[in-house]
Amino acid sequence: MEKAKIKLEILGLSYSQTQTGAYGLVLGESDGKRRLPIIIGNFEAQAIAIELESMRPSRPLTHDIFKTFADTFDIKVNEVIVYNLVEGIFFAKLLCQRGSEEPIEIDTRTSDAIALAVRFHCPIYTYEFILGSAGIILDDDEIESLSEEVAPSAKVSKVIPPSGRYGNMTLEELEVELEKALSDEDYERASELRDEINKRK
């Protein structure tokens, strides 16, 4: 009997408080209060944030190349499944399909799977035993607090801690700096600038 899948959504993305240079990705079940926190690397965090915030880097990232390659050869990623948890490590797979051929499962790191899911606009699922063992339940106040941190358009919280260094810049100057940061492939600074621009708008 096939296990029932539980749909997840991306709720937050921020610096990890426990691991230097890492980020915390928070997934939540669509029809419930349980949250699944996953520690991911800097590169994958930026890849997820850039796509969610509709940024366009000057050169394509690895996940962008994969998406272009797949589109060129008519390969779709239909869904992502976080299917196992072993000693604190999450395992995921892509369910891919080319044209009318049979779907194929491809193992991948969970962080890469999520970065691809946001590019293919495909759903993310997991199973009850994973949420049951690694999920956390937030009360109403904590859920409200998390919701306030999430960017309204992108459903991703600030990747970079808030800074007051842009307080004296005009909106036009911020937009110029944003273009420069993207051109220099400084995506952390670009994310911070985008947050400041969105806050003023």
Distance CA 53, CA 118 (A): 11
pLDDT lower than 50: segments of the chain: 143, 146-163
The pLDDT of residue 152: 32
Can you give the pLDDT at residue 18? 61
Task: Count the domains in the chain.
Answer: 2
Q: Do the Cβ atoms of 185 and 59 come closer than 8 Å?
A: yes
Residues, the chain: 201
**Per-residue pLDDT, 175:** 84
> 197 and 124 share a domain?
no
pTM above 0.95, yes or no: no
Six-digit token string for 192:
């911070």
Domain of 74: which CATH number?
3.10.690.10
Predicted pLDDT at 91? 97
Does residue 120 share a domain with residue 81? yes
Contact 46, 159 (CB under 8 A): yes
Q: pLDDT value at position 182?
A: 86
pLDDT given at position 95: 97
Task: Find the domain containing 197 and state its range.
Answer: 163-201
